[in-house]
Copies of this chain bind each other. A is one copy, B any other.
């Protein structure tokens, strides 16, 4: 073994140990949101605090720093895209980020966001922005401090935060794709609104018994390729996907007896995340190569299965007869076309998480604008409601009736997640661009979907995206997979094509 091989082997051991401990945190967090008795909340917070602290200690262990420095000195690990070089690069990135933050700031952020989230629940319930303002001010001040501590090549504070979720992406790059996307979306939304052809939205609001929903959604998730021997589906108030380590990936959803979309498309969405997690290389557990590329790429996988596949006509050609069997009362006399139009209803609304495929991106752009201005100091927290409502009017032609339906609707800021929102819309764009490429590579995907064949697409995603982990940045991955830089055009082609047909616009 050469000297650098030895150093690298030790690094791998340390990284995998840290990840193993972190995966215990995942299990306890999953349990907190699914099965924990209410009375156990305080003890669970203590357990999570302890384990998170121990995991943080491992991620910032001085020995890690020594190994990374020694590896730098020991010369090349070969091709910069090789597994080892990528793993070391990611380890260095994480170590630098973790050690740049003073412990005091980490602890203050943790404590403040924990309290701010509790305050947010109440303030949202009462649509009481003034009560939330002091918390927003504290969180923004701490996040500005965090951005300053981390720094960014661009010199833009916001980029230091964005980089945590979408490594190597800058706000300038985001703006360069968001701008033309918005310019194209606004007239599309207007045209759809003015169309005389509209779906019967009550179709998805009929009675869908919960047990049948569960069986049907689980069968669909299995069919598209989520492996239930290495994962499961449970219920939680807020749907999520938790990758707890090799062979243990858990999806959650929520069921409403009188709404079909929420649980079903929620499950497809989370299963998309899960298929990504299950496609990661287990032999690279805890290393960059075995980890998801970025939040945006993760979201591209969930959005692809939820919208590009799950809301397509072809998907329902296969699944609709089963849906009619599962929900004979609700769907027995409804045609496939009527159902397919209803699940693709587009209409401007206040709430992001309930938004359709078209307007969703506008919700994100609004938040991206607010966040950047808050970080730069151009917008004061106290002025957020006014700024929000003005921008909302500009984008949607509507003004929220209260702040609970406006700037208080999302948990993210109270949780310290500033710079996270753009990854949702980036995910939609990545998804569109990957999906076009998959069509080019695989041929008639619709014909496959109509036969219930999803394996070719899943295998393609496994091979083109999942096995690479963090080998490339998101931007480079897009380039490598599709041969082109990220663009808003594939998404607009998808949306225009689909909704022109549905709405006759």
A-to-B contact residues, CB < 8 Å: 17, 20-21, 23-24, 27-28, 31, 35-44, 46-47, 50-51, 54, 227-232, 234, 244-249
Contacts and interface: CB of A to CB of B under 8 A. Distances in A.
A21 B37 contact: no
A37 B229 CA distance: 6
A42 B246 contact: yes
Nearest to A50: B20
Contacts of A229: 37-39
A246 B38 CA distance: 11
A31 B234 CA distance: 13
B20 A24 contact: no
Contacts of A234: 35
B43 A232 contact: no
Given A229-B38, A232-B37, A247 B24 contact: no
A47 B247 contact: no
Nearest to A28: B27
8 contacts: A21-B50, A37-B228, A37-B231, A38-B229, A38-B230, A39-B229, A42-B247, A43-B246
Given A27-B31, A31-B31, A35-B232, A244 B40 contact: yes
A329 to B, nearest CB: 22
Contact of A40 (B36, B50, B248): B248
A24 B46 CA distance: 10
B54 A246 contact: no
A240 to B, nearest CB: 16
A248 to B, nearest CB: 3
Contacts of A35: 35, 232, 234
A24 to B, nearest CB: 5
Interface centre among A23, A39, A227 (most CB of B within 10 A): A39
Nearest to A49: B20
B31 A47 contact: no
Given A37-B231, A43-B248, A44-B248, 14 more contacts: A21-B50, A23-B47, A24-B51, A35-B35, A37-B232, A37-B248, A39-B230, A39-B231, A39-B248, A40-B246, A40-B248, A42-B247, A43-B244, A47-B245
A248 B36 CA distance: 7
Contact of A247 (B20, B40, B54): B40
Given A23-B47, A28-B27, A47-B24, A39 B247 contact: yes
Nearest to A41: B247
Contacts of A31: 27, 31
B28 A24 contact: yes
Interface centre among A31, A44, A231, A248 (most CB of B within 10 A): A248
A271 to B, nearest CB: 14
A169 to B, nearest CB: 31
Contacts of A42: 246-247
B246 A37 contact: no
Given A39-B248, A229-B37, A47 B28 contact: no
A20 B39 contact: no
Top 7 A-B pairs, shortest CB-CB distance: A40-B248, A39-B247, A39-B230, A40-B247, A43-B245, A43-B246, A39-B229
A247 B43 contact: yes
A142 to B, nearest CB: 27
Contact of A230 (B24, B37, B44, B247): B37
A324 to B, nearest CB: 26
A403 to B, nearest CB: 33
Contacts of A228: 37
A272 B244 CA distance: 33
A234 B21 CA distance: 26
A234 B36 CA distance: 12
Contacts of A43: 23, 244-248
A44 to B, nearest CB: 7
Contact of A20 (B41, B47, B230, B245): B47
Nearest to A232: B37
A36 B26 CA distance: 13
A241 to B, nearest CB: 14
